[in-house]
Amino acid sequence: MDWEIARSPDGIHTSFLGDYLAPGYHGNPAEDLALAGTAYAYEMARTMARIARVLHHPGDAERYRAAAARIRDAFNAKFLDAARGIYRTDSDPDYRQTSNVLALAFGIVPEARADEVLQHLVEDVHARGDHLNTGALGTKYLLPVLTERGYGDLAYTIATQRTYPSLGYWIDNGATSLWEMWDLGSRSLDHAFLGGAIEDWFFKDLAGIRPAAPGFKTVEVRPEPVAGLDRARAATRTPYGRVAAAWRRDRHGDLELEVTVPVGSRALVHVPAPSRADVRADRGARYVGMRDGRPVFETGSGDYEFEVER
């Protein structure tokens, strides 16, 4: 990381591969590779600052925080088109979803411009018939960025498309594995960076399972029920045991949420309901307040059920 910072004193970092194999490209798309390189350099510096803090190296933590701030400011100065409210490079042939998705996903966008950048992303997805236009870098973050910012229904629409470019297009054309390219005739039929990226979204967003402390000592369960889907279920192994979350809607539209927390862990369950009064919770689930518009309950280990009446 120190080498990477030292080689780019102006805060702009180059890269060899950008948003590789975006739809319509059999290699890198046309945008300046420095946009992706700088975005990831920022994320790496920020990650190093967190690592240094955990390892009790405050001097290193502050140095990496300062480096991240310099990189963020350089990124915004070079790539944020303030007049249009989008991120772009001089070589872009059109709007690039990944350029804007990375800025949103990594928290690079100035807070005052975040809604504007998001709206332009949503508009571009709609303009493409609710399809993605992302390659190896942007596909991983597109659905989570949309879901976490209130567009889970649109993310689900993208995920379930059957026409090019989409996972359904692959399946309808005989795919039984994850291809390297969105296009037919892919060079490799065993690549994870496009189709495999959706797995994060399944676990972290649809089912809502996330670690809230290292090793899942504390589990966060924050499911995102989306229009068109009536149930979701996921489980994962942790150092403490199996964590599981499942939700379903009944024929009346009421929602049931089941959570399993292993011995030695606790959970913070963000129930998709407008208020505490709308939730019927198991005894042992302690209400701790509203967060981001949802009632949150703290639990110990065990199995818990929550019901939300429409």
Q: What is the DSSP string of 157-206?
A: HHHT--SSSSHHHHHHTT--S--SSSSSS-S-S---TTGGGHHHHIIIII
| Separation of alpha carbons 151 and 64, rounded Å | 33
H-type alpha helices, 197-254: 198-201
pLDDT tens sequence across 141-180 = 999 999 999 999 999 999 999 999 999 999 999 999 999 9
The domain made up of 208-308 has a fold known as Maltose phosphorylase, domain 3 (2.60.420)
The pLDDT value recorded for residue 246 is: 98
Tell me the Cα Rg of the chain.
Answer: 21
Nearest to 45 by CA among 19, 22, 72, 75: 72
Question: Same fold for the domain at 2-200 and the one at 208-308?
Answer: no
| DSSP symbols for 109-159 | S-GGGHHHHHHHHHHHHHHTTS-----TTTHHHHHHHHHHTT-HHHHHHHH
Residue ranges, the chain, pLDDT below 70: none
- Architecture of the domain defined by 2-200: Alpha/alpha barrel (1.50)
Nearest to 197 by CA among 21, 16, 14: 21
What pTM was estimated for this model as a whole?
0.95
pLDDT tens sequence across 203-228 = 999 999 999 998 999 999 999 999 99
The pLDDT value recorded for residue 205 is: 97
The pLDDT value recorded for residue 309 is: 86
Q: What are phi and psi of 206, to 5 degrees?
A: -65, -55
CB proximity list for 189: less than 8 A, separation 6 or greater: 175, 177, 178, 179, 180
Return the SS3 of 243: strand
Q: For residue 70, give the DSSP letter.
A: H
The pLDDT value recorded for residue 251 is: 87
The pLDDT value recorded for residue 186 is: 92
Q: For residue 207, give the DSSP letter.
A: I
Residues of 227-258 as b/e, b for ≥16 C-beta within 10 angstroms?
A: eebeebebeeebebeebbbbbeeeeeeebebb
Q: Structural domain boundaries of the chain? A: 2-200, 208-308
The pLDDT value recorded for residue 6 is: 96
Q: How far is CA 262 from the centre of its chain?
A: 25
